[in-house]
Amino acid sequence: MVVVLDTGLLPMGDRIDAAQDLLADTEIPSINRLGTVAGQLWHRFTVWDLGDGVHATQVIGTGLGVLRGAKQLRVAAPERVGIGVQLTGSGTFSHCGADQVIDVGELSLTDGTSASDYSSTGIGGTKVVIFDYNQLALPVETVRSAATRLKSSPLYGLVTAHIAALGEEGDIDPGPARIMLKSATTQLVRALITTAAADPRQHDDLHDTLYLRIAAYVEQRLRDPGLNPDQIARAHNISVRHLYNVWSARGISLSQWIIHARLEGAHADLARLGRTVPITVTAQRWGFTSPAHFARRFRAAYGMSPREWQQTNDRQTP
């Protein structure tokens, strides 16, 4: 389910009330401050349900403040954890005895049982994933300890990219795909927290997220023709044998998975770019050093040659 509210489409006098109502329905008790920029007042809210006990909220607009003080904690202090990424602009965040400036691409971690104060000025945006504590199965002390040390985790960049990308492909209907997305998100955030807090659980969490970390590493380097098992194993401080063992439960070999992902990228580019880019150039961009090998693999995967696929899309383009 996706809930979207764009207050810019409402009469000026109704915008703040509509935003406050949405936040009251989806988030924990807080004082929400909605600001203006150069006389503008608008906010666009998107809420994604990732499954029982996990949802994501994105807010983009003209200034936002979210305060949870002693009064709000007395009203309700649900056991929830929020992990947010600053999408645009910057914000200030006071929590767990520390004051932080959150710039674009940086994370913030919130324990819902503690006081916190976030604010951003100017036009900015943030995306926060909210977990019930029982989903992460971590003690409050671990989360509070990690809140000021997130950047010390080796998973910081991976989790940042993962949260920023959540929902960008649209809503996912209930079913296996959404279950897998919720599981992967929960595992990554749990591992981020335990490694930042130097919690003893971190070793098990790093092991549990190894496949996800390898997959992200490979996806970022699909265009590198030199990508190989030795390089991937070294980057994750494991043996090539261990790498193959990690992948063996996936039903496809690592090399076949890489080839398939490269073909998908080339397939999309040939359709998008048409004859403006030579086929050999597209193949090289996706890590295929041999045009003949690329053509053979492409035909086996899609039942036509790269040229035929390119021409098909040329005919369909006005």
121-150: per-residue pLDDT in tens?
A: 889 999 999 999 999 999 999 999 999 999
Tell me what the pLDDT averaged over the chain comes to.
90
For the chain, strand residue ranges (E) read: 2-6, 31-34, 43-51, 54-68, 80-88, 91-95, 98-102, 107-111, 116-132
Tell me, yes or no, if the pTM score tops 0.75: yes
CB distance 122 to 63 below 8 Å? yes
81 has which bridge partners?
111, 131
| CA separation, residue 272 to residues 27, 73, 109, 266, 298 (Å) | 40, 52, 39, 10, 16
pLDDT for residue 79: 83
pLDDT for residue 316: 52
Full set of structural domains in the chain with CATH: 2-208 (2.60.120.10), 252-316 (1.10.10)
Looking at residues 96-124, what average pLDDT do you find? 93
Would the pLDDT of 52 be above 60? yes
Range from 9-23, 38-52, 160-174 carrying the lowest mean pLDDT: 160-174
Residue 260: closest CA among 307, 209, 218, 305: 218
The answer for residues whose C-beta is within 8 angstroms of residue 206's C-beta and 6 or more apart is: 191, 195
pLDDT for residue 121: 85
